[in-house]
Amino acid sequence: MVEDRILVADDEQSMREFLDIMLKREGYQVTLASHGEEVSKLIDKDIFDLVLLDIRMPKIDGLAVLKKIKATSPETIVIMITAYASADTAIKAMKEGAYDYITKPFKVDEIKVIIKNALEKRNLQKENLLLKQVVRDRYRFGNIIGQSAKMIALYDLLEKVAPTKTNILITGESGTGKELAAKAIHYNSSRKDKAFVTLNCGAIPESLIESELFGHMKGAFTDAIATKKGLFEMADEGTIFLDEISELPLLMQVKLLRVLQDKEFKRVGGTEDIRVDARIIAATNKDLEEAVKEKRFRDDLFYRLNVIQIKLPPLRERREDIPILAAHFLKKYSEELSKNISRISPEALNLLLNYGYPGNVRELQNIIERAVALGNGQELTPQHLSSYLDEQIHIKKGSFDLDIPNEGIDLEKVIEELERTLLVKALERTRGIKKKAAELLHINFRSMRYRLEKYGLDHGGDE
């Protein structure tokens, strides 16, 4: 661990020596200076975490040195020391950026606590800045991975809508990356330095959703032991992401509509209107328009949320992105799990290309993570994938109900699903070799190619 570096500047030799011994015992690196010019030269050549600075020093007084420090190294903490208590001097020092002000004689424990607190606060600020940078980097558009035409069009749309204030509805199947897209929008907008808060509308009991969104006053209900801010207050000037918006109860839909229209709400049990400026990004994997027709979702709320709709394509509609996604996840989990797996064999890639991915990108990510965890050597092979893919085979005992229910069945759809499943299974069994898969299904190669093209499973490769 790197030791914090402290510069002690005092014209009294005994004070410098005392502080030098005391601070080194506390584990700090200490540099000493006896007058203002010496401090100025040291600041020009080096960076200190904290400066203990005597206000009255020869050549250049402490306030002038303080200005120099803050101009040269704004992040350096400065604590002023003086034997002459003066409210005016203290105020001037604080206005110029001093962290704190102590007078001689001081208690040793007092100055230890002040220094410790000051450095902890500075380190926390640095960590927060680094965390913000990591979060921003993680959710740049370039990290929503894909090079297909559909993904390029998505990047263009995200880049256009991010700077706006418009509410956005993100639609797409589970696992397509709706929250990732929402975060990318937030962290590429003018709100990026404010909060991004999330609520999964389908994961919170109906009785708690209002309190979660709008907060509550102490005593508003049995468990309200203290006044609590809701997510909308936390998201003021930032973004609130409402996932699975289709699961929001009708009563809450009315209250959400009011926030969208008036930008204000009341806490549960409160009487005061609270105004907020929060951008709303909603997401759903359901057909909201169908829900509106069935009176399960308010049409006025739908139109308010659906100002701009972003549709995320399922992975089966952008299979050309599978190799780049698989390579990305392979690198990620090889590093995280300290494995040396650096490539995917052509046979394994064929299996990945021909799998159906009902769970979309999230499922591909899980497949690669599992394969890396169980794998060895430098290459991911079909053997590393087969255990998972075998578990996910569509044809399982009892998976097809041959009884016809009272409401009937869509025969064409059932037959197509069965045919597609058998094609995928045959390719898995033959490690992606189409000729062998055709033989396994007792069809000719031309018929095999036709069926693969029909279901979007033909990606070239071995015959």
How is the chain split into domains, by residue range?
Answer: 5-133, 139-313, 317-454
- Of 211, 298, 290, the residue nearest 254 (C-alpha): 298
Q: What is the pLDDT of residue 396?
A: 40
- Report d(CA 184, CA 128) in Å as an integer: 19
CATH architecture of the domain 139-313 equals 3-Layer(aba) Sandwich (3.40)
Q: Which CATH number fits domain 317-454: 1.10.8.60, 3.30.450.20, 1.20.1290.10, 3.20.20.300?
A: 1.10.8.60
Looking at residue 1, what is its pLDDT?
Answer: 47
5-133 and 139-313 agree in CATH topology:
yes
Residue with tokens 């797409």: 172
Digits of tens for pLDDT over the chain (463 positions)?
457 889 999 988 999 999 999 999 999 999 999 998 999 889 878 778 899 998 888 888 888 899 988 888 888 899 988 776 565 776 788 888 898 888 888 888 888 999 998 888 877 776 666 565 555 555 556 568 888 889 989 999 999 999 999 999 999 998 999 999 999 999 999 999 899 999 999 888 888 899 999 988 888 888 778 778 889 989 999 999 999 999 999 999 999 999 999 999 998 888 888 899 999 999 999 999 999 999 999 999 999 999 999 999 999 999 999 999 999 999 999 999 999 898 998 888 988 988 888 889 999 999 999 999 988 888 898 888 876 776 665 434 344 445 666 667 778 877 887 888 888 888 888 878 888 888 888 888 778 888 888 887 876 655 5
Compute the chain's Rg from CA coordinates.
Answer: 32
Q: How many CB atoms lie within 10 A of CB 116?
A: 12
Which residue's entry shows tokens 């001093």? 98
* Two tokens, residue 259: 């926030």
Say whether the peptide bond before residue 105 is cis (omega within 30 degrees of 0).
Answer: yes
Tell me which CATH homologous superfamily contains domain 5-133: Response regulator (3.40.50.2300)
For 30, the enclosing helix (H) or strand (E) is strand 29-33
Residue 243 near residue 285, CB atoms below 8 Å: no
Return the SS3 of 298. coil
CA 449 to chain centre: 42
